[in-house]
């Protein structure tokens, strides 16, 4: 799915936050997916360096059904793209900008979110078929840099800062004012082994921060 088509889909997302679930296990997958869905999260990422990630993706995809999108993070090779697709995943998210991975995802009709940190990487990713751009790490791609890139990127481009994003409406607002259209949330949202009650509390804190950041 190219960036123009994805932008239309993303506009319909009530809570444009990607939950990064590094370390989640198949045993936890259903409960985690159900909890996040109840909190409004519809984009769930299981990094491939988690325990048995493909099994967790399959469980979450079945749990979420047509209510959202599930896929993998830390996708580095074409082979992994095909593995994720076979498990029922729809998202291919990477820390880097690897054209072969983007191309494989595009050819399978999946949502591709490669990591970029420079304008050159951004334009190459879009030209290759990326659906959205993961601004990573966000500690490096500051709001000032994100704004500079948004000026030259196609207006439809969905840019998502990832890395060090806290449930802080002011931090979020600074990125939104710089052209971001959502965020990827990692350790501040989920850590391996946390209880569903804690996950729910954190998810609602991020949801509240997002709502506050969008107030005029």
Contact between 22 and 47 under an 8 Å Cβ cutoff? The reply is yes
**Whole-number Å distance between alpha carbons of 206 and 208:** 5
Count CA atoms closer than 13 A to 70's CA, side-chain side: 31
Going by C-alpha positions, the residue among 19, 21, 24, 18 that lies closest to residue 193 is 24
Question: Which uninterrupted H or E stretch holds 44?
Answer: strand 43-47
**Whole-number Å distance between alpha carbons of 132 and 161:** 11
Catalytic residues: 45, 134
Question: Which uninterrupted H or E stretch holds 111?
Answer: strand 111-113
Contact between 133 and 114 under an 8 Å Cβ cutoff? The reply is yes
Bridge partners (DSSP) listed for residue 43:
18, 69
**Whole-number Å distance between alpha carbons of 140 and 32:** 30
Bridge partners (DSSP) listed for residue 73:
47
């Amino acid at each position: 799915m190219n960036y123009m088509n994805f932008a239309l889909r993303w506009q319909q997302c009530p809570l444009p936050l990607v939950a990064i679930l590094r370390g989640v296990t198949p045993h936890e997958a259903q409960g985690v997916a159900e909890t996040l869905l109840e909190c409004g999260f519809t984009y769930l990422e299981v990094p491939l360096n988690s325990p048995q990630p493909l099994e967790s993706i399959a469980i979450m995809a079945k749990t979420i059904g047509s209510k959202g999108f599930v896929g993998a993070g830390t996708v580095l090779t074409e082979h992994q793209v095909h593995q994720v697709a076979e498990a029922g995943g729809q998202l291919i998210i990477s820390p880097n900008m690897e054209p072969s991975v983007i191309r494989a995802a595009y050819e399978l009709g999946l949502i591709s979110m490669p990591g970029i940190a420079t304008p050159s990487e951004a334009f190459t990713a879009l030209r290759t078929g990326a659906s959205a751009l993961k601004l990573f790490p966000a500690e490096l791609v500051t709001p000032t840099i994100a704004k500079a890139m948004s000026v030259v990127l196609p207006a439809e481009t969905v840019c998502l800062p990832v890395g060090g994003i806290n449930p802080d409406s002011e931090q979020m607002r600074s990125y939104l004012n710089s052209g971001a259209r959502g965020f990827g949330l990692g350790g501040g949202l989920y850590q391996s082994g946390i209880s569903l009650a804690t996950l729910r509390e954190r998810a609602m804190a991020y949801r509240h921060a997002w709502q506050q950041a969008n107030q005029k």
